[in-house]
Amino acid sequence: MSALSDQLVTFAILAYLVAMISHAVEYALGNARKVPAAAPARELVGAGVGGPGGTVEEPATPVTPAATRAGRSAARAALAGRIAAWITVLAAALHLGAVVTRGIAAERMPWGNMYEFVLTVTWIGAAAWLAVLWKQPSLRRLGLFLTLVMVLLLAFAELKLYVQVVPLMPALQSYWFIIHVSTIIFASGIFLLGVVPAVAYLMRAGWEQGKRSFPYTLARRLPAAAGLERLTFTLHAFAFPVFTFAVIAGAIWAEAAWGRAWGWDPKETWAFISWVVYAGYLHARATPSVKRNVATWISVVGFLTMLMNLFGVNFFFTGLHSYAGV
């Protein structure tokens, strides 16, 4: 079962990679303004669920000879995008299979070490992305960045973090393990997804302000900045209470396991830092005098602190949360 899980991870990485290439083809071929993206995308994800962002800003394509060529290329781009989205669905299914088989092999929740943690967080990110895509098909082009993140994180997990299946150490044998770790994973997965529209927004907003230098040119074919910004906020506003709950659950567990609810262990310290930064983002976002791109930068910093907590703390610091198995 453990070997099956490992194979599924490999296949999932390959599938994300193919999805990424397909998204890249979509990106290279299509021009957002001329692609009738909304209609096919909606077909793809199941008819009739036009979310608030389901309306795309492009005007109807004028039927001129020049436009027919562009239209053909746009149709091909839309096809590539649809294929990419379906392959992402396949990849997420393989990915879920990998998580589940890992759990069956270990006879416990598959969150006992850093490898399993990253495996599950990325799956949450992918699943949440598919949910967003279902609601707002017009955001499909973000898939390029999301699949890139998936490939990088999963490949890193498989190459550098991989460990054999072992049972949980006594310190982790508690029902709080399920409550605390699952919510941390869930929140981390949503924050992971949240950074994708955040970065895309920063680039797109620059493009819309007329910046034509390198990172902004990437955003030429991204969805409109306002929608990206709203998605960034929605995801963070959703993840933040979950993260808060997870940290509180961790404190309750720490009281039972270590005798104190909060002891400034490096992991706790960085969770505190992330919490404070994300709280800062939500405040900045709610304050009209703070510019939206400043607020979005804060959310990106928040994500960096989450990364620091996962990789930096596990690799460089020793503390009580030494379960990474690396």
Partner 1 sequence: MTTVDDRPAAPPAGAPRRRIHPVLALLRNSWRQLTSMRTALILLFLLAIAAIPGSVLPQRGVSPEKVNEYFVDHPDLAPRLQQLGMFEVFGSVWFSAIYLLLFTSLVGCILPRARDHVRALRMRPPAAPKRLERLPQHAVLEAPAAADPEAIAAVLRRRRWRVTVRGNEVSAEKGYLKETGNLLFHVSLVAVLLGVAVGSWYGWHGNRILVSGADNAFCNTRQQYAEASLGPRVDSSDLPPFCLTLDRFEADYLESGQASRYWATVTVDHQEDGSTRTAGFSVNSPLRLGAANVYLLGNGYAPILRYTDRYGRTQTSTAPFLRSGDQNATEEGVAAFPDANVDPKTGKRAADQQVAFDGLYLPTAPDRGPYLSSQFPAERNPAVNLRAYRGNLGLDAGIPGSVYALDQRQIDNGKLKQVGEKLLRPGEKWTLDDGSTLEFLGTKPYITISVRYAPGQSMMLVACVTLLLGLMGSLFARRRRVWFRVSPPVGGSPTSGSSLVEAGGLPRTEHPGFADEFAQLVAAVSDDGRDDDRRAREGDE
Which positions touch partner 1 (CB under 8 A)?
Answer: 48, 52, 166-167, 169-171, 173-174, 176, 230, 233, 237, 240-241, 244-245, 248, 251-253, 255-266, 269-270, 272-273, 276-277, 279-280, 282-284, 287, 289-290, 305, 313, 317, 319
| Closer Cβ to partner 1, 70 or 251, answer by number | 251
| Closer Cβ to partner 1, 26 or 229, answer by number | 229
Is the CB of residue 139 less than 8 Å from the CB of residue 133? yes
In the numeric block, which tokens belong to residue 96?
């879920």
What is the closest distance, in whole angstroms, from the C-beta atom of residue 142 to partner 1 in the complex? Answer: 18
Three-state DSSP class for residue 89: helix
DSSP 166-200: -PPPGGG-SHHIIIIIHHHHHHHHHHHHHHHHHHH
What is the closest distance, in whole angstroms, from the C-beta atom of residue 57 to partner 1 in the complex? Answer: 15
| Closer Cβ to partner 1, 67 or 166, answer by number | 166
The CA-atom distances, in angstroms, between 41 and each of 77, 84, 265, 271, 314 are 12, 11, 47, 38, 41
CA 173 – CA 321 distance, rounded (Å): 14
Residue whose entry in the numeric block shows the structure tokens 């890193």: 156
In the numeric block, which tokens belong to residue 181?
């770790």
Residue whose entry in the numeric block shows the structure tokens 């995008």: 81
| Closer Cβ to partner 1, 41 or 239, answer by number | 239
The answer for residues whose C-beta is within 8 angstroms of residue 293's C-beta and 6 or more apart is 201, 202, 205
| Closer Cβ to partner 1, 213 or 289, answer by number | 289
> Residue 261: how many CB atoms within 10 A of its CB?
14
Where is 58: in which H helix or E strand?
none
What is the closest distance, in whole angstroms, from the C-beta atom of residue 17 to partner 1 in the complex? Answer: 34
In the numeric block, which tokens belong to residue 85?
């989205």
Cα-Cα-Cα-Cα torsion 156, 264, 323, 128, nearest 10 degrees, comes to -50
Is the CB of residue 190 less than 8 Å from the CB of residue 122? no
| Closer Cβ to partner 1, 158 or 265, answer by number | 265
| Closer Cβ to partner 1, 31 or 173, answer by number | 173
> Residue 45: how many CB atoms within 10 A of its CB?
20
What is the closest distance, in whole angstroms, from the C-beta atom of residue 106 to partner 1 in the complex? Answer: 13
| Closer Cβ to partner 1, 217 or 287, answer by number | 287
What is the closest distance, in whole angstroms, from the C-beta atom of residue 126 to partner 1 in the complex? Answer: 24
What is the closest distance, in whole angstroms, from the C-beta atom of residue 219 to partner 1 in the complex? Answer: 22
What is the closest distance, in whole angstroms, from the C-beta atom of residue 117 to partner 1 in the complex? Answer: 18
What is the closest distance, in whole angstroms, from the C-beta atom of residue 50 to partner 1 in the complex? Answer: 10
